[in-house]
Amino acid sequence: MKRLLLLFSLVSLPYFISFWGCTSKNRELNHKLNEMASNLNGSTPVMLDRFTRFDSASVTKDNEFCYYYTILNTTNADSLFNELKQTISENIRSQVASSPDLRIFRDNDVTLRYFYRDSLQNVVHDITITPAQYK
């Protein structure tokens, strides 16, 4: 019985150490991403252009970095966004792929989520950018 327990311990220990290391790494990344979101939130809300207000940023427990925008000064936010969605997606991918400030996303395979809401705060569109799309 002692041999079986010893064998189980020797086999299980590497998996436990690996799991603990990954969990610790994810928590550290989550902490860094939350700091980034907090820094961004310190200057919000801010109008980016005539129609777009950046409201906030947040981080999920799975380390997805989320940006929240409101589309203003239009009677049809959905229509306005549809005209620009492809350009916005391409610009995001390009920025994440090349910006030194966004290296933390590239180095840690962070998924980015962009939520666009109308003036009533209903989500009219969202864009998800995965690591495969910006690497």
Residue 49 maps to which CATH number?
Answer: 3.30.300.250
Whether the predicted pLDDT of 19 surpasses 70: no
Summarize the confidence of residues 85-104 as an average pLDDT. 92
Confidence (pLDDT) at 86: 87
| 22 within a domain of the structure (yes/no) | no
The pTM of this model reads 0.79
| 21 within a domain of the structure (yes/no) | no
| 17 within a domain of the structure (yes/no) | no
Summarize the confidence of residues 25-47 as an average pLDDT. 95
Nearest to 130 by CA among 54, 37, 61, 65: 65
Confidence (pLDDT) at 4: 43
* Host domain of residue 45: 30-134
The more confidently predicted of residues 83 and 35 is: 35
Span of 12-26, 40-54, 72-86, 90-104 with lowest mean pLDDT: 12-26
pLDDT digits (tens, 9 = 90+) for 55-75: 999 999 999 999 999 999 888
| 69 within a domain of the structure (yes/no) | yes
- The total number of structural domains in the chain stands at 1
| 107 within a domain of the structure (yes/no) | yes
Summarize the confidence of residues 89-103 as an average pLDDT. 93
| 47 within a domain of the structure (yes/no) | yes
Whether the predicted pLDDT of 3 surpasses 60: no
- The gap from C-alpha 56 to its chain's centroid, in whole angstroms, comes to 12
